[in-house]
Amino acid sequence: MSRYTTLAISEPNELRFGLAPKPLTTRHGMQIGGGTVYPELNFTLPPILVNAQTMPEIQRHYRQIITGALQRAVELECHGLVVEFETLPPMTENPVWGVDLAKILVDAMGEANAKHGLKSVLRMTPNDTREMERPPRMRTGQLWEAMLKTFEGAAAAGAELLSIESVGGKEVHDEALMIGDVRQVIFALCVMGTRDMRFLWTELGQIAQRHGVHCAGDTACGFGNTAMVMAEQRMIPRVFAAVVRAISAVRTLACYECGSVGPGKDCGYENPILKAITGFPMAMEGKTAACAHLSPLGNIAAATCDTWSNESVQNIKLLGGMAPTCYLEQLIYDCRLMNEALADGRDAALMYRNWMVRSDAARDPQAFVLTPENSIAIARSIVCAPNDFAAGKAAALTAISLLREGQRAGAVKIAAREQPWLDTMEEAVGSLPTTESEFINQMMGVVDTTKFVARDYGLAG
């Protein structure tokens, strides 16, 4: 494990779509982050129980999804395709089911490559089923074993990219969002979350190494996106969700410190910050993922992406065809435009990137903290900090001050009723102790310690 102390990208104009300082080459020869943006298709089942009886029907769904998608990719002369298989919980609890489905996808992708020369790569994202038990057992037990078996089996079957939406720290974070407590957010993400990530991704690294595949990356979905969806529903202030996003980058960074190489997971909207720190390619999702959830980041998310995803869509019939095929078509057209801009040279690509940034940034604090300039400012505050706790504080304070300055300059709109939240958050972060151990002592008396097993986080109970 090594800490990042410098930035891979420190110049805002270098933080842009399709290009990463450390691209990743796949077995089929796709260079992710090497000058081309690839579509990343994700899909899920329509309402259906997942069990042994329904498994033949479920296999038919996945076969139908992949056949339709690959055929359309060939027809639209797609340069290369990332397919993400985000399993559903019973498929991780019963690794054979998940692995068999992964095989269906890999086989079809191999066939399309042999027949049509279509390059593709499978990202396997088993569920973090550890939280099926409450309080979750993070490091032992049947759920943990089954989850690792799913990773292992999929890697052996040919899934080249390993990802997960891990949930370490969520036990405390959910409440932090409900009560709007930024101290508890930092504890969940930068004490509990990073500790779990280091444990988890070290294990996943060993699996990847055994099978010659890559640890791609994690996401703070259960943290930043829960906050974002809550802000969309007017449950919590947008400025609060924006600050949570900045802090969440500290947690996700831990997977890269443990050997992940990208592309980072699509729903990690903290990825622009992580691209600046690590230089690895990143998946992003935005307007073409409205099928999965709404967001205020539709265009700006694409500004720094290396693969462009739809997050998830049910396999249902739309007028144009089956939904995954329709969404793949949209992704391919989005990517064509970005790739055309890249082909026209740096200035053209920058102009297109800037349009995507400007069309969102002023409208929502959550978009504003993700402009290339602001992502780099937050990234810098993280790498300059000596440890995760300090990095969390620094990311929060930087985001708050960027929002204040942005508002003063008329660069971002912040609703009047959200203003006091900037002061409250600043005061709360400003009053935190200086050392991590003091902070842990303090917070163990504040958070509900019955919701997690402290020793699974290397914390004294």
Partner 1 sequence: MNEKELLTKAVENGNRNDAQCLTRVLLEQGLAPLEIVEQALMPAMAVVGEKFKTGEIFVPEMLIAARAMKEAMVLLEPLMTKAGIKPKYTAVIGTVQGDLHDIGKNLVAMMWKGANFGVVDLGVNVPPDRFVAAVKEHNPHLIGLSALLTTTMPAMRTTVAAVRQAGFTSVKILIGGAPISEEFAREIGADGYSPDAGSAVDGAKKLLAN
**Per CB under 6 A, 165 contacts ligand B1M:** yes
- Answer for which of 55, 74, 132, 411 binds partner 1 (CB under 8 A) is 132
**Per CB under 6 A, 127 contacts ligand B1M:** yes
Interatomic CA distance for residues 380 and 115, integer angstroms: 47
**Per CB under 8 A, 90 contacts partner 1:** yes
The entry of partner 1, ligand B1M, none near residue 134 (CB within 5 to 8 angstroms by kind) is: partner 1
**Per CB under 8 A, 413 contacts partner 1:** no
Half-sphere exposure of 141 (CA within 13 A, CB side): 15
Measured from the Cβ of residue 35, the count of other Cβ atoms closer than 10 Å reads: 14
List the beta bridge partners of residue 124.
Answer: 85, 162
Interatomic CA distance for residues 247 and 389, integer angstroms: 10
Contacts of 174 (CB under 8 A, 6+ apart): 226
**Per CB under 6 A, 295 contacts ligand B1M:** no
Q: Which of 92, 97, 104 is nearest to 144 (CA)?
A: 92
- Shortest distance (Å) from residue 292 CB to partner 1: 9
Report H helices in 188-237.
Answer: 194-211, 226-232
**Per CB under 8 A, 236 contacts partner 1:** yes
Q: Which of 1, 3, 6, 2 is nearest to 277 (CA)?
A: 6
Q: Which stretch binds partner 1 (CB under 8 A): 129-137, 242-250, 350-358, 425-433?
A: 129-137
The entry of ligand B1M, partner 1, none near residue 311 (CB within 5 to 8 angstroms by kind) is: ligand B1M
Chain residues 224-263 in contact with ligand B1M, contact rule CB under 6 A: 225-226, 229-230, 233
Residue type, 384: C
Q: Which stretch binds partner 1 (CB under 8 A): 38-46, 75-83, 198-206, 322-330?
A: 38-46
Beta carbons of 17 and 305 less than 8 angstroms apart: yes
By beta-carbon proximity to partner 1, the closer residue of 111 and 174 is 174
**Per CB under 8 A, 49 contacts partner 1:** yes
- Answer for which of 137, 293, 336, 363 binds partner 1 (CB under 8 A) is 293
The entry of ligand B1M, partner 1, none near residue 66 (CB within 5 to 8 angstroms by kind) is: none
Q: Which two tokens stand for residue 40?
A: 């990343």
- Answer for which of 309, 312, 325, 381 binds ligand B1M (CB under 6 A) is 312
DSSP class of 262 = S
**Per CB under 8 A, 459 contacts partner 1:** no
The entry of ligand B1M, partner 1, none near residue 86 (CB within 5 to 8 angstroms by kind) is: ligand B1M
**Per CB under 8 A, 230 contacts partner 1:** yes
By beta-carbon proximity to partner 1, the closer residue of 236 and 377 is 236
Interatomic CA distance for residues 23 and 420, integer angstroms: 42
DSSP class of 223 = I
> How many angstroms from the chain centroid is the CA of residue 29?
24
Interatomic CA distance for residues 352 and 341, integer angstroms: 7
Residues near partner 1 (CB under 8 A) are 44-50, 88-90, 131-132, 134, 174, 177-181, 226, 230, 233-237, 293, 314, 417
